[in-house]
A and B are shown apart, each in its own frame.
Chain A
Amino acid sequence: MDYFIELLFSGLTRGSIYALIALGYTMVYGIIGLINFAHGEIYMIGAFTSFVVATVLSIYGFPLLAIIVLAGVCAAIWSSAYGYTIEKMAYKPLRHAPRLSPLISAIGMSIFLQNYVLLAQTSDFLPFPELIPDFAFMEPYAHIVGSSDLMILVTTAVVMVALTILIKFTRIGKAMRATAQDRTMAMLVGINVDRIISATFIIGSSLAAIGGLLIASHIGQINFYIGFLAGIKAFTAAVLGGIGSIPGAVIGSLILGLTESFATGYISSDYEDVFAFSLLVLILIFKPSGILGKAETKKV
C-alpha cells in the first residue's frame, strides 16, 4: 500500500510539473492556433536562470528564503521576457502566413535557443542547489512523500487557483477568452489583440519558469536539453486534455503523470515514454478531440 501511495504522489508531482508547462502550450494554442515548440526551451531557460541566480546568491551568502524567492522571481521575469521576444520576432511577422510556416519557425527557434544556452553556459549536467529544505513535520511520511514533492504540489495548486481567477474574473482574462473565441470579433469590440497575445506568452512563460525551478530543485541537475522532452510531454498532455482548454491541460497532465508513474512502478521503467505516447494514441482514437476538447462540427 505504501508503494502505491508513493507512486500516486510521484505521479501527481510529475503531473503538476507537466501541467505548469502544458498550460503555456494550451493558452497559446487557444489564442493563435500555434504549436509553440519553443515553449519547452522557455522552461529550460527558466531553470537555467534560476540556477544562475540561486548559485550566485548562495555564494554571496544570502539566506535560503531570499534565494528561493529571488530565484523564482528572476526565472519568471526572464522567461517571460524571452517568451515575449520570441513571439515578437518569430511568430508575429507570420500571423497571416500559411499554417505550417510558424511551426517551422518555432522549431527553428527551439533549436536556436537550445544551442544558445549550450554555448552561453555549458553542455554538462549542472548540479542544481537544493532550495527546498526537508520540513520537520514531514519526517514521519518522508519514505512516501518527499518535502519537495509536497512543495511542488502546493505551489502548483496555488498557481492554478491564481490562474483561474485571472482568467475568469479579471479584465485581461476576459479579453483573453474573447480573443481565443474569435480574434476578429475581439478586435472589433476594441480589444488590443496584439497585447493580449503578448500577455498570453508572458503568462505561459512565467508558469513554465516556475515549473523549471521546481523540477530542477526536485531532480537536482539541469542541462540544456531538458526542455525538449518536457516540452513534448507537456504538449502531449495538453492534447490529451483537449488543446485550447485550460482545465483540460491540467487533467491531461495529471493523467499523463499518473500513467507514467504507475507504469514505471509496476511494469518496467524502460518503457516510461512509450506508455505515455500509447495512452495518447488510445485516448485520441476514442475521443478524437481530447478529453475536454470540443468536437468541432463544421458547417458547409
Chain B
Amino acid sequence: MFPLKEFKKSLLVALWFVALTFPLMVIQVDPIERIVNWRWNNMFFVAIGSFVLSVVGKAFFARKEQQLSKKRTAQNEEVQDTIFQRVLREPRYLWPISLACLAFAIAFPFLFSTYQTNVMTTALMYVVLGLGLNIVVGLAGLLDLGYVAFYAVGAYSYALLNHHFDLGFWTVLPVGGILAAFFGIILGFPVLRLRGDYLAIVTLGFGEIIRLVLENWNEFSMGPSGIANIDRPGLFGLDLSLNMSILYLYYLMIFFLIITIFVVNRLQDSRLGRAWVALREDEIACQAMGIDKTKTKLVAFSLGAFWAGIIGVVFAAKTTFVNPASFTFLESAIILSIVVLGGMGSIVGVICGAFILILLPEYLRALSEFRMLAFGGILVLMMVFRPEGLISNVRRVYQFKKNDRGEK
C-alpha cells in the first residue's frame, strides 16, 4: 500500500511546483494591449502532473535503492555484468548480431520510405560524429565543447571549393578531412597546457569563433545566407535522380560507418589508443612511462577533427546548402550528449546514443512543440538514472580459465 507519509510528501512537491511555475505558467501579460491573462487551468495541470511524476519517481528510486542493497549483499560474487555486456564480449554472439544489424541496415531503404531513409542517413552521420568525438572525449579524456567547428570546416570546404572551383565530392572528401585535422592541430597547440574545464571553455570559444567568422565574413562565406546549390555526390559521372542520390548517400554512410567502426576499434587496442587511455587516467604517470604527451594529445585532436571534417563534407553534399546556423553550440552539445549518453569510450554505446538522440526528436515530431522540451527532460532523466551511460565501456582484461586441477 502506498504509505500516507509519502503521499503527503508528493502533495508538498506538487504544491512547490505550483508555486514555482506560477508567474510563468499562470500569468500571461500583453504589454501593448495592457491585458493580464490568468490561465488558472495551467495551474491545475502543473499540480496533477508534478504529483503523478513525484509518485512515480519515488517508486522508481525505491526500487533502485532495493536493487543496490541487494547488490551490496552479493558483493562476494564477481562483479555482475549486465547481459548486454556479456553478449558484447562473447565473439560467438557478437558476429551474428552485427551481421544481422548490417543485413537490416542494407535492407532498410527497401522496407521504409525515402523520408525514413533520409532520417536514417542523418542518424548515421551523427553516429560517425559521435565516434570521432569519442576519440577525443572518451579515449583521450579531453573535454571538447567546440567539436562542431571541425564539422563546419569540412562542410564549408566542400561548399566553397564546389562553388568556386567546381570540385567534386570525392576530390574534396579527403581535403575537407585534412583541413579539419589541420584546424584540430591549430586548436590543439595552445590548449595543450590547459586542464579539464579550461580546455572545455576554450574549445567552446573556438567553436563560436569559427561560427561567428563564417557569419560575418561576407566576402568569404557569404554570411548568414549561406551557400546553396552544392552538388550531390557523383557516382562515376552518372546523373542520379533525387531518390537515387538519397539511396546512394545512405549506402555511402553505411560504408563510412563500417570503416569508422573498424578504425576506431583497431585504434582502441593500438599503442596509441592505450596511450590515450593512460593519459586520461593519469597524466603524470603516463609521462613517466615515456609517452610523448604533446604528440599523443595532438593526434587525438586531429584524428577526432578528421572524422568531423569528413562528415561535414557529407553533410554539405546531403543538404546541398550550408549556412552558419547549422553549426551552433547546441550541435556540439548534442554530439557530446551522444558520447556521454552512450557510455564514454564504448563504440556500441555511441551507436545506441546517436540513434536515441537523433531519432527521438524526429519521432517526437508528433508532439511538435513539446519536442525540445521532452529532449531536454529526457537528457536529464537519463543522466539521473544511468549516469555512467547506456553501455559502460568494458576494459579489455586477460581472462584466466580454470585448468584441470581447479586452480585459477
Contacts and interface: CB of A to CB of B under 8 A. Distances in A.
A20 B358 CA distance: 36
B29 interface: yes
B251 interface: no
Contact of B341 (A55, A104, A127): A104
B212 A274 contact: yes
Contacts, number: 178
A111 B376 contact: yes
A121 B370 contact: no
A104 B24 contact: no
A235 interface: yes
Interface in B2-30: 16, 19-21, 23-25, 27-29
Most buried by B among A53, A85, A103, A117: A103
B369 A119 contact: yes
A288 interface: yes
A280 B21 CA distance: 37
A107 B337 contact: yes
B306 to A, nearest CB: 22
Interface stretch (B103-111, B191-199, B291-299): B191-199
B380 A89 contact: yes
A13 B212 CA distance: 24
A285 interface: yes
B213 interface: yes
B105 to A, nearest CB: 27
Nearest to B46: A120
A55 B340 contact: no
B290 interface: no
Nearest to B370: A119
A105 B379 contact: yes
Interface string A45-68: 100110111011001000000000
Interface in A104-163: 104-105, 107-117, 119-122, 126-127, 129
Contacts of B378: 108
Contacts of B24: 45, 48-49, 52, 116-117, 120-121
Interface stretch (B69-77, B163-171, B202-210, B315-323): B202-210
A284 B379 contact: no
B212 A273 contact: yes
B377 interface: yes
A298 B194 CA distance: 14
A112 B191 CA distance: 31
Interface in B364-401: 369-370, 372-373, 375-380, 382-384, 387-389
B79 interface: no
Nearest to B378: A108
A59 B36 contact: yes
A102 B382 CA distance: 11
Central interface residue in B20, B209, B344, by most chain A CB within 10 Å: B209
Nearest to A97: B387
B211 to A, nearest CB: 9
A108 B380 contact: yes
A290 interface: yes
A277 B212 CA distance: 10
Interface stretch (A74-82, A166-174, A196-204): A74-82
B254 interface: no
Contact of B383 (A74, A104, A111, A285): A104
Nearest to B379: A108
Contacts of A93: 384, 387
Interface string A250-292: 0000000000000000000011011011101100110011100
The 9 closest A-B pairs by CB, nearest first: A108-B379, A112-B376, A97-B387, A111-B376, A277-B205, A105-B383, A101-B387, A115-B373, A270-B216
Interface of B: 16, 19-21, 23-25, 27-29, 31-32, 34-36, 42, 137, 143, 190-191, 193-195, 197-198, 200-202, 204-206, 208-209, 212-213, 216, 284-285, 329-330, 333, 336-337, 340-341, 344, 369-370, 372-373, 375-380, 382-384, 387-389
Interface of A: 29, 35, 45, 48-49, 51-53, 55-56, 59, 74, 78, 81-82, 85, 89-90, 93-94, 97-98, 100-105, 107-117, 119-122, 126-127, 129, 228, 232, 235-236, 239, 243, 270-271, 273-274, 276-278, 280-281, 284-285, 288-290, 296, 298, 300
Given A48-B24, A119-B370, 15 more contacts: A74-B23, A90-B380, A100-B143, A101-B388, A101-B389, A108-B377, A108-B382, A111-B379, A115-B373, A117-B24, A119-B369, A239-B198, A274-B213, A284-B190, A288-B194
16 contacts: A35-B197, A35-B200, A52-B24, A89-B380, A89-B384, A101-B383, A103-B340, A105-B380, A107-B379, A108-B380, A110-B376, A121-B28, A126-B31, A127-B32, A273-B208, A274-B212
